[in-house]
Amino acid sequence: MAPTLLVLAAGMGSRYGGLKQIDPVGPSGETLLDYAVFDAIRAGFGRAVFVIRREFEDAFRSSVAAKYAGRIAYDCVFQSADLVPKGCAVPAGREKPWGTGHAVWCARDALGGPFAAINADDFYGAGSFSRLAAFLKAAHGDRFALVGFRLADTLSESGAVSRGVCLEKAGLLVSIAEEHGISRADVGPGRRFSGREIVSMNCWGFTPAVHPGLESGLRAFLAARGTEPEAEFYLPAAVSGLLSGGGATVEVLPGGDAWFGITHRGDRARVAAAIGALIRQGAYPPRLFG
């Protein structure tokens, strides 16, 4: 079975100031999501599932997903705060969805086999999708994968970022620690980080075996922190919970290609320039879906 690409696209981009999922960065109006889908098709993914918010479904379907018709089969599923496991309570007034781990849980019924999970607003490079596709075609049971990137290669020139810093041993993930407020001033000799640390940019490979553990983690999270107004069930934390529970393994795959993404409004020009350079090198055509 060809793997499925699961794209987490429900974030509203509060720091960025708009719907960065549909903001063009390519020379023919392409979004970062377009490049991810293009690379996934080349790598052998057979289907895409987009997790979005219902309120921007029309804009997403007309501005983004319509370009993929005839190239890859796709579905849209919705993430909202009121979608929780049976028996779990939703606090009054909660409108914000519960984070990336919750987004994957919301898509569970649309995923029939092995799948990669990525952010819609990150550029991972063709090699990342090729490595995930190869892994997923042989994966089984509680054997998962993460494409890791060097911290120094994932920083923003326009402000601080949050990153999941990975601890690995013999090529396997041990844990992920969410670190906030990382700027370029924090990286270098004698500073908070060396820059060589491997970080998670939410580029994962899963089998369907992830779903029961993910739901258990979501239930525990909601019971412990569901009343906190800004609490989110992040995917790296969810996977860390699976690792600490035993049974699951996560292979850390090298990123290899350049990563870049849009966190702050000022990142967009840098990302567009980087894509332009890749086009000039012949890595991508000037128009992806012409």
Q: Quote the CA–CA distance of 144 and 208 in Å, as a whole number.
A: 10
Bridge partners of 50?
7, 76
Nearest to 203 by CA among 262, 133, 111: 133
**288 occurs within a structural domain:** no
Q: Which domain holds residue 256?
A: 4-280
Is there a contact between 101 and 237 (Cβ–Cβ < 8 Å)?
Answer: yes
**43 occurs within a structural domain:** yes
**275 occurs within a structural domain:** yes
**What mean pLDDT comes out for the span 271-278?**
93
92 C-beta neighbours (distance < 10 Å), count: 6
**163 occurs within a structural domain:** yes
> What does R_g of the chain's alpha carbons equal in angstroms?
18
Q: For the domain that residue 215 is a member of, what is the CATH number? A: 3.90.550.10
Question: For residue range 153-179, what is the model confidence (pLDDT) as tens digits?
Answer: 998 888 888 899 999 999 999 999 989
Q: Quote the CA–CA distance of 72 and 40 in Å, as a whole number.
A: 9
The Cα-based distances of 188 to 157, 160, 245, 255, 269 in angstroms read 15, 15, 34, 21, 25
**290 occurs within a structural domain:** no
**286 occurs within a structural domain:** no
64 C-beta neighbours (distance < 10 Å), count: 22
What was the pLDDT predicted at 263? 74
pLDDT exceeds 60 at position 12? no
Two tokens at 132? Answer: 């995930």
What was the pLDDT predicted at 2? 94
Question: For residue range 72-100, what is the model confidence (pLDDT) as tens digits?
Answer: 999 999 999 999 999 999 999 898 899 99
**113 occurs within a structural domain:** yes
Q: How many domains does the chain have?
A: 1
DSSP letters along 152-177, please? Answer: GGG--SSS-EEEEEEEEETTEEEEEE
| Alpha helix (H) residue ranges in the chain | 32-43, 57-63, 100-106, 126-138, 210-225, 235-244, 267-280
Residue 21 pLDDT level (bands cut at 50, 70, 90): low
52 phi, psi to nearest 5 deg: -135, 175
**229 occurs within a structural domain:** yes
Q: Quote the CA–CA distance of 80 and 262 in Å, as a whole number.
A: 23
